[in-house]
Amino acid sequence: MVPVPARRALLAAALGLAERRGLPRVHGNGCLLTPPRPPRAALLSPDPCSPLPTATAAARLSSGAGGQPEADSPNRDTAMLRHLLLKLRATGPVTVAEYMREALTNPGQGYYTRRGDIGDSGDFITSPEISQVFGELIGIWYISEWIAMGKPKAFQLVELGPGRGTLTDDILRVFNQLASLLSKCDVSIHLVEVSPKLSEIQALMLTGGKTQSDPEENSAYMKGVSKTGIPIFWYTHIQDVPPGYSFYLAHEFFDALPIHKFQRTEKGWREVLVDIDTEVPDQLRFVLSPSSTPATENFIQPEEMRDHVEVCPEAGVIIQRLACRIEKDGGAALVADYGHNGTKTDTFRGFRNHKLHHVLRAPGTADLTADVDFSYLRNMTQGRTATLGPIKQREFLKNMGIDLRLQVLLQNSRDTATREQLLRSYDMLMNPKKMGDCFNFFALLPHHRLVHPDKKHKPESKSPQLPVAGFGELLLK
């Protein structure tokens, strides 16, 4: 175990890393990114964290209009819409979860399968795309935990839903900067990505496009080697990733998983379903199940106080898998997303071209998303791991030393435009009205990680626990 002051020194070294690369992200043509567009959460007003403050679920159900802004949402006939209309005619209404799964990840026409346009010119922008400082600080978090856990000889970094691969790329740069520290550690990267299109973009970003499809030796569908020589594997499901000591990362992943929606009625809980609108040709609408469904029986707690509830069982299954793996093989998981602690009601929304998009219009052409219920995730770990958070993004990044990093970058940048861009990106990540308050960090750690070594032998010891970076202040000297 490296003593804490030594760890701080190492982190300080990492924070001062690669000044030139710390500048705002540069496109291939060498132009600085134009000011980032508002992220998904920041588009919503007046409360950026409450997407539908005025429309009640009931009103939206009766109107079938989704109660959402119609901005840039033509009722375009899409291949996905035709597919869904055929399916609904054959089977009757489907759950919102089934609709969301089809619209996002249908192998032929799903949004992520075909479009998945993340970034300034796409449908939505995420923190790693706004500033590489974000990924650098997360890279430092993993190194810090690796040191705190006694520098295991090998670890897998497993990212769920890596988007364009930007976050892993920024993390790998930190690992490379600290190569002397990691020289005796066998590091490998494992990406869980359902979209063939996005996995190609990730491969280009991380390996320069040099990959091998259908590798024989394991369940990965593709493999390659990073620009810095680290093996990278791609999988469709988390259960395909080989067991072993692993650090997991899920940034804006859980919000993309299918949710079930439930509405309290005079007759009891009913599930919200998606059906064909009988009054408007080739259009979809929400309806309520005529009676309770297996989902209403299983997912609504007797003590539930809200009138409208969203549950994401797939997120529950995945977090349970992560907790089991961490309990058995060691490691940690960092989840960052917008969300709540079991308090919000109707958060289902769509985004296209950086604008709110009606969730039932032109399916397959827009990102669909719902806030993550962190209390549900915590319950689903079933005590197999300890959990930390959720804490707000601005608190996590502050604790990780973002201010110090910004100062270093500002001091080293010569031109005003770069400095302004640095300040804009910082504001986007940290401002409570933008991404600072809406996004949360949540971690799973083995129970022993939160017990001070002395306490194992001397339970009466009053000495503080080792700090977990990000969730507590990390003093960088």
Which residues are near ligand SAH by CB under 6 A? 104-105, 112, 116, 118, 126, 128-129, 161-163, 167, 192-195, 198, 251-253, 256-257
Asked whether the beta carbons of 198 and 159 are under 8 A apart, the reply is: no
CA distance 290 to 283: 21
* Encoded amino acid at 381, one letter: T
- Name which of 251 and 405 has its Cβ closer to ligand SAH: 251
Query: What are the helix and strand counts (H, E) for the chain?
Result: 17, 18
- Nearest distance in Å: CB 162, ligand SAH: 6
Rounded least distance, CB 207 to ligand SAH, Å: 17
Q: For residue 452, what are the CA distances in angstroms to 202, 275, 389, 441, 456? A: 39, 55, 19, 23, 7
Q: From CA 94, how far away is CA 310, in angstroms rounded?
A: 15
Shortest spacing between CB 112 and ligand SAH, in angstroms: 4
- Residue 96 or residue 149: which is nearer to ligand SAH going by CB? 96
Rounded-to-5 percentages of helix, strand, coil across the chain: 40, 20, 40
Residue closer to ligand SAH by CB (options 167, 360) is 167
Kindly state the smallest distance separating residue 111's Cβ from ligand SAH, in Å: 9
**Residue 260 C-beta: closest distance to ligand SAH, Å:** 15
Q: Which residues of 181-211 are buried (b: 16+ CB within 10 A; e: fewer)?
A: bbeeeebbbbbbbbbeebbbbbbebbbeeeb
* Nearest-angstrom CA–CA distance, 274 and 194: 24
Q: How far is the CB of 256 from ligand SAH (least distance, A)?
A: 4
Q: Hey, what are 158's tokens? A: 């497993």
Report in angstroms how near the CB of residue 235 gets to ligand SAH at its nearest. Answer: 9
Quick check: helix, strand or coil at residue 241? coil
| Residues 333 and 326 sit within 8 Å (Cβ to Cβ) | yes
The least distance separating ligand SAH from the CB of residue 161, rounded to whole angstroms, comes to 2
| Total Cβ atoms within 10 A of residue 279 | 8
DSSP state of 415: S
In whole angstroms, give the CA distance from residue 235 to residue 223.
Answer: 9
Between 223 and 449, whose beta carbon lies closer to ligand SAH? 223
- The bridge status of strand 367-369 relative to strand 372-373 is unpaired
For ligand SAH, the closer of residues 106 and 296 by Cβ is 106
Nearer to ligand SAH, 142 or 253 (CB): 253
- Residue with Cβ nearer ligand SAH (195 or 387): 195
Min separation Cβ 170 and ligand SAH, Å: 11
What span, in angstroms and rounded, lies between the C-alpha atoms of 372 and 259? 10
Output DSSP code: residue 449.
Answer: G
User: What span, in angstroms and rounded, lies between the C-alpha atoms of 22 and 25?
Assistant: 8
Residue placing its CB nearer to ligand SAH in the complex, 112 or 146? 112
Nearer to ligand SAH, 162 or 389 (CB): 162
Provide, rounded to whole angstroms, the least separation between the CB of residue 466 and ligand SAH.
Answer: 28
* Number of C-beta neighbours around residue 215 at 10 A: 15
Phi and psi for 37 in degrees, rounded to 5? -75, 165
The least distance separating ligand SAH from the CB of residue 417, rounded to whole angstroms, comes to 25
CB 248 within 8 A of CB 190: no
Closer Cβ to ligand SAH, 66 or 110, answer by number: 110
CA angle 147, 442, 304 (to 5 degrees): 150
Pick 57 or 103: Cβ nearer ligand SAH: 103
Rg of the chain (C-alpha set): 23
